[in-house]
Structure 1
Amino acid sequence: MSNATPPGWYPDASAPGTDRWWDGTAWTAHTRPAAQAPQAFGPPEPFTAASGDATTAARSGTRIAALAVAGLMVVGAAVTGAVLLGRDDDPARPEAGPSGSAPPSTTATATPSPDGSPAGNDPEVLVDQLNGITLPIPDGWEKPDRTVEPVPTMRTVDPYECPGSSSDFCYHATVTSRTASATDITSAEQLARQDITAAADRAYEKNIVGNRIHGGITSHDQLDSAPVSVAGRAGYQVRWRVNTAKGPGGYVQSLVFPSTVGSESLIIVRYAFDAGPDGPPLSLMDTLTKGIRPIGDSATSGGVGSSIAP
């Protein structure tokens, strides 16, 4: 039985010369100019605008694979041949190999980590492969191998029992990067103003499984709402100080800016820092924002953050 096609960039049949991101189960809105090197893993069913159902396209019936066999030239004589394979009854087997190259995480032997890198083994940088950015990891922070939310995440190392909940654990600081989805908003400012409520609720009201933490948010104060330059792009940030029924409360920030790759979809970077002596200094939010870089930025080693300390 063939392995399921892993996440990666694959040719977009509806837009020649363009790759589209396959998230492992369905096509996304992310595109980029097609690369040239062949990929180790074949793509799923090609995306077409008329298909309507990307999952159905990825799982449809039979597939065709082509195998070319070429002989070596010996003493001036060349022998070439080509063999065309027949139909395969395995519905999970992808179609012909793509023309575009894909990140290492899409090869048959690699298991993607939450940050999009093959093994997530660089302790100094968090990689958001899908959105084409890196974030510096401060001293005393980690990027976990597994998280409740499948988004690139970094956080302080030691968890503690959440105030107001004896069954849940919290962290003194967490930063996540995600693609803006399920929204038609194209303005960074408008999206940041909208997202800050969700960011605050997730950090200090209820966790992702619905358990109330910190006793819930009782009030908030807006500390900042302003445009900001991120990785050479015009973005916008909104920052709140939230007060909670239990514990010291904290600071949350929604930072929104266009991706540096593909269709330049909006990226949301969420910050959540505990207030009080156990939380990191608020100035670290600004330091992290300044450290965001496009992947492969040679001038900054891709945004490696070994010099950043909380």
Structure 2
Amino acid sequence: MSMTPPPGWYPDPNQPAVERWWDGTAWTEHRRTPGNVQAAPAPQGFGPAPDPAATAVTAPASSSGGGRAKIIALAAAGAVLVASIVTGVVVLGKDDGEPRGGGPAPSRSATTAPEPTATKSTSPSPTADPNVLVDDLNGVTIPIIDGWEKAEGAVHDVPTLQTPDTFDCPGDPGMCRYGEVTSHTVTSTDETSPKALARGDIKDATDSVYGKDVLDNEHYGGVTGHQKVKEGTVAVAGRSGYYVRWKVRTGKGAGGHVQSVAFKSSVGSEPMVIVRLSIDIAEDAPPLSDMDRIVKGIRSSGDSGTDGGVGEDVGATP
């Protein structure tokens, strides 16, 4: 599934000095100040000759320093005056007619305070809580319950929870885990029905865990069949959602359970979100009830008081 342009950080068309998140369908309210911004060097030798009145700030010549001390004082005063003039010109040079569209950011941004909107994303974040996985893009947090951990490393391009223990995959060589939870923004369709999205995603969710990987490896011998266990409405992070759960048979190993949960985000342009959960059928795997516990614990960012969420047309999660 793909789209043009893909989700990512791009120059804000209204504020070129700020980057803004494109979610694949619309601009969101997520903004950030580009990193590694270096202040522009001050122009050398800029401005008129020093004002003779500046000599009034020079220190009297001492008996030991004589004319040399006076020369140094005059030079220092001149440098201060030039720096003041340069700073004033830079500030007064601000033009109300500056470009408002895309393109490179004006150089003045290196010498002025950041735009107020650029600091919006710097407010305190739930990342300080070690018990949740933060999905800043979709504005939700996912609970890290006992037996699960936050996945680290560049191999995961979406927020991911996983079980800590690994084992030799029953099919192609590799290391497998007993469970995984991932959070995704829907970008390939304009569909806004949680029911339609969950039903449409469950096969992709199954293939992503038990089918072929990007290197065509089949760690479980491929998917040989499935059985729908259950589906229905559910409240997620204060929004109405829908879930579908399959029991999956694989060519090698005992298979597992896969679940897709779809709901609408409450931030930015309110994109549709899909959370995928999978748990192997194995003695050392976590209990299947962990799926329900994790979904019930999903919260809107900064809203820890929402107990399971109250959807737009459903009650609190059982």
TM-score, with normalisation over the residues of structure 2? Answer: 0.64
Other-structure match for 2:121: 103
User: What one-letter code is carried by the residue in structure 2 that aligns with 1:29?
Assistant: T
Tell me, in whole angstroms, the C-alpha distance in 1 between the residues paired with 2:266 and 2:10.
15
Deviations 1:132-179 (A, max 9, x none): 00000012322122143410001011222211112x221100000010
Other-structure match for 2:171: 164
Other-structure match for 2:152: 145
Deviations 1:187-237 (A, max 9, x none): 111111111000000111112332112011111000112111111101110
Other-structure match for 1:297: 303
Other-structure match for 1:131: 138
How far is 1:301 from its partner? 10
Decide which moves more: 293-302 or 269-278: 293-302
Other-structure match for 2:162: 155
How far is 1:282 from its partner? 0.9
Structure that is richer in strand per residue: 1
Tell me, in whole angstroms, the C-alpha distance in 1 between the residues paired with 2:240 and 2:25.
21
**Is the alpha carbon distance of 1:298 and 1:158 closer, same or farther for their aligned partners in structure 2, counting shifts above 3 Å?**
closer
Other-structure match for 1:174: 180
Tell me, in whole angstroms, the C-alpha distance in 2 between the residues paired with 1:302 and 1:289.
8
In 1, are the aligned partners of 2:20 and 2:29 still within 8 Å (CA)? Answer: no
**Is the alpha carbon distance of 1:233 and 1:183 closer, same or farther for their aligned partners in structure 2, counting shifts above 3 Å?**
same
Q: Which of 214, 225, 228 in structure 1 is aligned with 2:231?
A: 225
2:211 maps to 1:240: no
**Is the alpha carbon distance of 1:298 and 1:272 closer, same or farther for their aligned partners in structure 2, counting shifts above 3 Å?**
closer
**Is the alpha carbon distance of 1:138 and 1:277 closer, same or farther for their aligned partners in structure 2, counting shifts above 3 Å?**
same
In 1, are the aligned partners of 2:246 and 2:257 still within 8 Å (CA)? Answer: yes
How far is 1:260 from its partner? 1.1
Within 5 Å, which residues of 2 pair with 1:276-291? 276-291=282-297
Count of matched residue positions in the alignment of Structure 1 and Structure 2: 237
Gaps of 5+ in 2: 1-7, 43-84, 96-102, 310-318
User: What one-letter code is carried by the residue in structure 2 that aligns with 1:128?
Assistant: D
Tell me, in whole angstroms, the C-alpha distance in 1 between the residues paired with 2:165 and 2:94.
54
How far is 1:129 from its partner? 0.1
In 2, are the aligned partners of 1:10 and 1:102 still within 8 Å (CA)? Answer: no
Gaps of 5+ in 1: 1-6, 43-64, 68-78, 87-91, 106-116, 304-310
In 2, are the aligned partners of 1:20 and 1:28 still within 8 Å (CA)? Answer: no
**Is the alpha carbon distance of 1:302 and 1:238 closer, same or farther for their aligned partners in structure 2, counting shifts above 3 Å?**
closer
- SS of equivalent residue, structure 2 residue 138: coil
User: What one-letter code is carried by the residue in structure 2 that aligns with 1:276?
Assistant: A
Tell me, in whole angstroms, the C-alpha distance in 1 between the residues paired with 2:239 and 2:308.
16
Other-structure match for 1:29: 25
Structure that is richer in helix per residue: 2
Tell me, in whole angstroms, the C-alpha distance in 1 between the residues paired with 2:272 and 2:281.
28
Deviations 1:87-111 (A, max 9, x none): xxxxx96445544124349xxxxxx
How far is 1:122 from its partner? 4.6
**Is the alpha carbon distance of 1:227 and 1:294 closer, same or farther for their aligned partners in structure 2, counting shifts above 3 Å?**
same
**Is the alpha carbon distance of 1:103 and 1:164 closer, same or farther for their aligned partners in structure 2, counting shifts above 3 Å?**
same
**Is the alpha carbon distance of 1:12 and 1:29 closer, same or farther for their aligned partners in structure 2, counting shifts above 3 Å?**
farther
User: What one-letter code is carried by the residue in structure 1 that aligns with 2:14?
Assistant: A
User: What one-letter code is carried by the residue in structure 2 that aligns with 1:289?
Assistant: V
User: What one-letter code is carried by the residue in structure 1 that aligns with 2:121?
Assistant: P
- SS of equivalent residue, structure 1 residue 277: coil
User: What one-letter code is carried by the residue in structure 1 that aligns with 2:136?
Assistant: Q
In 2, are the aligned partners of 1:158 and 1:171 still within 8 Å (CA)? Answer: yes
Other-structure match for 2:260: 254
Tell me, in whole angstroms, the C-alpha distance in 2 between the residues paired with 1:169 and 1:293.
31
In 1, are the aligned partners of 2:237 and 2:298 still within 8 Å (CA)? Answer: yes
Other-structure match for 1:194: 200
- Give the number of the structure whose alpha-carbon radius of gyration is greater: 2
User: What one-letter code is carried by the residue in structure 2 that aligns with 1:13?
Assistant: N
User: What one-letter code is carried by the residue in structure 2 that aligns with 1:156?
Assistant: T
TM-score, with normalisation over the residues of structure 1? Answer: 0.66
Note the aligned Cα RMSD (angstroms): 3.8
In 2, are the aligned partners of 1:123 and 1:143 still within 8 Å (CA)? Answer: no
The share of aligned pairs that are identical, in percent, is 44
Deviations 1:45-73 (A, max 9, x none): xxxxxxxxxxxxxxxxxxxx9x9xxxxxx
